[in-house]
Amino acid sequence: MKVGFISLGCAKNQVNCEQMIWQTYEAGYEVALGAAGCDVAVVNTCGFLQEAREEALAEIQKLVEQKQAGQLQKILVTGCMAQWWRDQLAQRCPQADGFVGVSGYENLPQVIDQALRGEHPALFGDIDAPIPETDRVVCTSDYWAWLRIAEGCDNRCAYCIIPMIRGRFRSRPEEAILAEAENLAQAGMKELIVVAQDITRYGLDLYGRRTLAQLLPKLCAIEGIQWVRLHYLYPDEITDELIDVIAREPKIVKYLDIPIQHISDRVLRAMHRRGTGQEIRTLFRKLRERIPGLVLRTSLIAGFPGETEEEFEELCEFLLAFRVERAGVFPYSPEPGSAAAAFPDQVDEDVKRRRVELLTDLQMRIVDDYCAAMVGKVLTVLCEGYDEETELFFGRGEADSPGIDGLIHFEGEEGGVRPGEFYSVKITNTYDGELVGVLYEEEEA
């Protein structure tokens, strides 16, 4: 019996899916990525935004068609959409054979057994339950892996439903994180991407204080791990102690993902975000001063209820003034169940679209300028493969997080360059927001 997995959404979802794959394999099932040739398909869904839910529904519909054609026996829907939209999902997808929410996924093999017996299981545990410690099968890469250090969120941003889907913030014990990191290093991983909804809060619930600054040096001490990357840091939780650790630890890549969402004081208050625009500006200046070569990534929301043209202009001016190298720009989405969905002065969709386009254009100019400034520099690149079409190797530098940032393409002799190894690459050109270079030999210096 073969079970295929499809994972949608964020890194936390991916880790859950990898844990479900391991559990299913250990239970004696054959497992695969994708549904082709499988008897059972498991779709791990995202429910954060309408766009993500539509993607999940489209994926489920494809599986329904396969099932109707006799190519698939059972469809199971797991994850955030199954948790938060369970009733609507059951109505929209009556052909689904079972549902599992964001807790209880370690029991997926039993759910598969039930579905194969003709039952219609629905497993929705306590979203605030302790995080189960289970092994996983890393599916992202042979060279890097997500390292989830916490689950849930205690921030109550007005636009967000994550706390209602994923529960309160729960840290994993430090010893469990370090043990997993050791295992990942032994499996050949070179880069660990530390992830949680808010990694700056790590340890507060378990140890009574924030302990990310103590955890990071221990991760850096693990033999075999060469890069440690950080996603996501809440701005007002970034302490001087944490900045010092990031600055002095050579394995921590000088790349920080700090979602700020906006810079206007009034909009930030309406969003229920802590801190002010001036405090964000002060933080970004401090980070630039104390961490040489730092690349910043952030997330911005355009068209939040009540956002005026002046407040939007302030956001544009901030982006240009601080030259944030990486930014994800999103139109405000009124998610049912969120506080902001009921706010007055909802912004017209055309206005939101225009503001997103303007911010995106500004960001592309900043990216182009950043790429141009890299020409002539020598960067360390983790090689991830070879492109037959361009006849170039490709990989990522410290400024490039997988899946969201660009790649570095470089020349090298086949057989002389191996994926999974680090190389010095001299940047010679840019192309469409990405970098192009050649292997840099020490004798060239």
- Segment 163-179, tens digit of pLDDT: 999 999 999 999 999 99
Predicted confidence at residue 443, as pLDDT, reads 42
Write out the E strands in 303-350. 326-331
The rounded distance, in Å, linking the Cα atoms of 368 and 251 is: 27
Q: Which residues, 6+ apart, have CB-to-CB distance to 60 below 8 Å? A: 43, 75, 77, 93, 96
CB 150 within 8 A of CB 202: yes
3-state helix, strand, coil in the chain (%, to 5): 40, 25, 40
Ramachandran class of 203: left when φ > 0, alpha when ψ lies in -120 to 50, beta otherwise: left
Whether the predicted pLDDT of 339 surpasses 60: yes
Asked whether residue 92 carries a pLDDT value surpassing 90, the answer given is no
- Averaged over 113-142, what is the pLDDT? 92
Q: What is the pLDDT of residue 346?
A: 97
CATH numeric code, 144-372:
3.80.30.20
Q: What mean pLDDT is predicted for residues 30-46?
A: 95
**Distance in angstroms (rounded) separating the CA atoms of residues 231 and 224:** 21
The mean pLDDT of 41-65, rounded to a whole number, is 91
10 is in an annotated binding site: yes
Averaged pLDDT score across all residues of the chain:
95
Is the pLDDT confidence value at 345 over 60?
Answer: yes
- What CA–CA distances, in Å, run from 67 to 42, 96, 199? 13, 10, 41
Residue 99's pLDDT is 94
**What's the per-residue H, E or C state across 339-388?**
HHHHCCCCCCHHHHHHHHHHHHHHHHHHHHHHHHHHCCCEEEEEEEEEEC
pLDDT-based confidence at residue 415 (cuts at 50, 70, 90) = confident
Task: Look at residue 445 in the predicted model and tell me its pLDDT.
Answer: 36
Was 46 annotated as part of a binding site?
yes
Architecture, CATH, for domain 375-444: Beta Barrel (2.40)
Least confident span in 349-358, 368-377, 406-415: 406-415
Average pLDDT on 72-77 reads 96
Averaged pLDDT, 211-220: 98
441: confidence class by pLDDT, cuts 50, 70, 90: confident
For residue 440, whether the previous peptide bond is cis, meaning omega lies within 30 degrees of 0, is: no
Residue 89, pLDDT score? 84
CATH superfamily of 2-123: Methylthiotransferase, N-terminal domain (3.40.50.12160)
Region 314-330 average pLDDT = 97
What is the Cβ-side half-sphere exposure of residue 81, based on CA atoms within 13 angstroms? 27
User: CA-to-CA distance for 186 and 193, rounded, in angstroms?
Assistant: 16
Q: For residue 240, what pLDDT is reported?
A: 97
> Quick one: average pLDDT of 357-361?
98
- Exposed/middle/buried for 130, CB within 10 Å: 0-12, 13-18, 19+? exposed
- Residue 316 annotated as part of some ligand binding site: no
Structure tokens at 368: 């182009």
List, for residues 259-291, the tens digit of each pLDDT value.
999 999 999 999 999 999 999 999 999 999 999
Q: Classify 79 in phi/psi space as left (phi over 0), alpha (psi -120 to 50) or beta.
A: left
Q: Does residue 80 have a known ligand-binding role?
A: yes
**93 carries a ligand binding annotation:** no
3-class DSSP state of 164: helix
Q: Is residue 442 predicted with pLDDT exceeding 70?
A: no
- Listed by start position, the domains of the chain span 2-123, 144-372, 375-444
Pick from 190, 145, 146, 196: which is nearest to 170 by CA? 196
What's the pLDDT score for residue 416?
85
> Which pLDDT does position 88 carry in this prediction?
83
Question: Would the annotation count 383 as a binding residue?
Answer: no
Between CA 96 and CA 91 the distance in angstroms is: 10
Tell me what the mean pLDDT of segment 357-382 comes to: 97
The stretch 301-326 carries a mean pLDDT of 97
pLDDT given for residue 391 in this prediction: 92
